[in-house]
Amino acid sequence: MKTEHALARILKEMMSSQPLDDISVLEISKKCGVSRKTFYYHYHDIYDLLTQVFLDEKIPNANACENYDQLIDVIWKYYKNNEAFVNATLASAGKDLFSEFIYNIFYTSTMRFVNKYDTAKEISITSKKSIARFYASGYSNSLVYYLSNYKNKTLAGLKECFSFVSNTNLLKSLQKVNKE
């Protein structure tokens, strides 16, 4: 597993300074000190390796967030700390991998929020998952759209994309589901 993680780390570093389309398997292999054959033993192509990057990737403090405002703040901090890498990913055919990564962050966080609010344990797991999928889709798609299309990105601008949804709306959704 060390080779896979080393290759993933090298790809992420390289994408911080150049577009994914300009990176070759040979360059990655050389920087990692392995042969192309070793690369292909572990991965089918660079996009397969990029998948590993996102499997290894974490957003610090995302699991400690208690609401969407805090979550957006930590995602923004992650973005600013990895801006070149994220932008290179969004400008490549690997954009869907970043979208899925962000979706999973929003989904697990929403499930955590829903479970926190459902103190009486009255909402079915199916309803909780439906709510989490709905909110995760909206948040992740809005975030990816914002990062992909806006030139002057700011935390305030990002939060404006989410002005349609709030923690209060989540509570209302849970209450409505609970009544049905």
Q: Indicate whether 31 and 107 sit together in one domain.
A: no
Q: Indicate whether 46 and 15 sit together in one domain.
A: yes
Q: Indicate whether 108 and 65 sit together in one domain.
A: yes
Q: What is the pLDDT of residue 164?
A: 65
Q: Indicate whether 124 and 163 sit together in one domain.
A: yes
For 127, the domain range is 58-179
Q: Indicate whether 49 and 87 sit together in one domain.
A: no
Q: Indicate whether 48 and 91 sit together in one domain.
A: no
Q: What is the pLDDT of residue 119?
A: 84
Q: What is the mean pLDDT of each run of 10 residues along the chain (180 residues)?
A: 90 95 96 96 96 95 94 97 96 95 97 89 91 93 95 92 66 60
For the domain that residue 19 is a member of, what is the CATH number?
1.10.10.60
Q: What is the pLDDT of residue 180?
A: 54
Q: What is the pLDDT of residue 117?
A: 86
Alpha carbon of 131 to those of 22, 98, 99, 141, 145: distances in Å? 40, 22, 19, 15, 21
Q: What is the pLDDT of residue 161?
A: 82
Q: In whole angstroms, what is the distance from residue 114 CA to residue 111 CA?
A: 5
Domain's final residue, options 53, 68, 92:
53
